[in-house]
Amino acid sequence: MIALRQLIKIIGSGWETLPTGHIEKLLSGAGSLLAIATVFGISSAALGTDPALLLIASMGASAVLLFALPHSPLSQPWPVMGGHIIAALIGITCYQQIPHMLVAAAVAVSGAIVVMYYLHCLHPPGGATALAAATSGAAHQLGYKFVLTPVLLNVVCMLAIAVIFNYFFPWRRYPAVLARSSMIPDDDAPTDEHAELGVSTEDLSFALRRMGSFIDVSAQDLTAIYALALQHARDSHLQPAAIRPGLYYSNGRYGENWAVRHIVDESGSADAEFDKVIYRVVAGNGRRSSGTCTRAEFARWARYQVTRNENSWNRVEHV
């Protein structure tokens, strides 16, 4: 029974990692539909040849990345273009130089992965492109022309559609750098000198390198996420002017660090450094203890005002 529960846990791992709404899911599907239909139409009009030569199957996998994960490092223009082109070159070369198809296919895929890694254009669908180039009769018929048509033609069309389609939705803009610039206000844009952040983009890049394996997030993404989270944390806390004697406040934390403080007195001053409050901890961590701090320090600790309701503390909602 324990083994069965563990197996279910392993199979189900990852279910909770896609917190996207219905609009995002529908947009991903709509973008992919538009991209594949347009690429097929353009390729057909330009080449006017056998449908098997018009569209490589790996474009379907690229559509998932471009329209469902447009901000992934694996979905950016250089990985998409470089990954497919390099994989196609390697696949055709393996077919022509290695007489045994099984060996040619295996070498093509593994070689494409290694080269994509070193050229910083890792794109998973590139593995499928390398396999198609090494094993497909249509690719063999075209030789290195396969790299230009359909591969390059498909890639250029897909990238153009991804840029145009996602542009109309600021949170999805492609490439990712366009989305980051539209989501973060200029005043909160993360920089290496961002004092409140505590770490720089270079620090985050170092941490990612130390992980030892590829993680589908960039240092710039982590910096942007932290900046947005920091802004949310700032907005979620009370302003110093809201801290007044006689009221109760909570830090809103879960577990043993949760506490409620009662402001019992104040020592007002025009100088923020000397504007202090005296409080007593009436519930949670440090109960029955007292303390003194500046009003600004207390505001950074307090998440919201609370009021006593029989045996519980309820949050006070301000209109």
Q: What is the pLDDT of residues 211-243, one digit of tens each?
A: 777 677 777 777 777 777 777 766 667 888 889
The dihedrals phi and psi of 207, each to the nearest 5 degrees, come to -65, -40
Pairing of strands 248-250, 290-294: unpaired
End-to-end CA distance of the chain: 52
Secondary-structure percent of the chain, ordered helix, strand, coil, rounded to 5? 60, 10, 25
Half-sphere exposure of 25 (CA within 13 A, CB side): 5
Stretches in the chain below the pLDDT threshold 70: 1-2, 9-10, 12-19, 49-54, 180-198, 214, 233-236, 272-273, 318-319
SS3 call for 252: coil
Instruction: Output the six-digit token pair for 127.
Output: 């593995």
Concatenated DSSP letters for 114-131?
HHHHHTT---THHHHHHH
Provide the pLDDT for residue 36.
Answer: 94
Provide the pLDDT for residue 193.
Answer: 42
* Cβ atoms within 10 Å, residue 236: 10
Q: Which residues contact 148 (CB under 8 A, 6 or more apart)?
A: none
Instruction: Answer whether 212's CB lies under 8 Å from 263's CB.
Output: no
Instruction: Output the six-digit token pair for 176.
Output: 């990712």
Instruction: Answer whether 203's CB lies under 8 Å from 243's CB.
Output: no
Strand partners, 94: none
Provide the pLDDT for residue 192.
Answer: 44
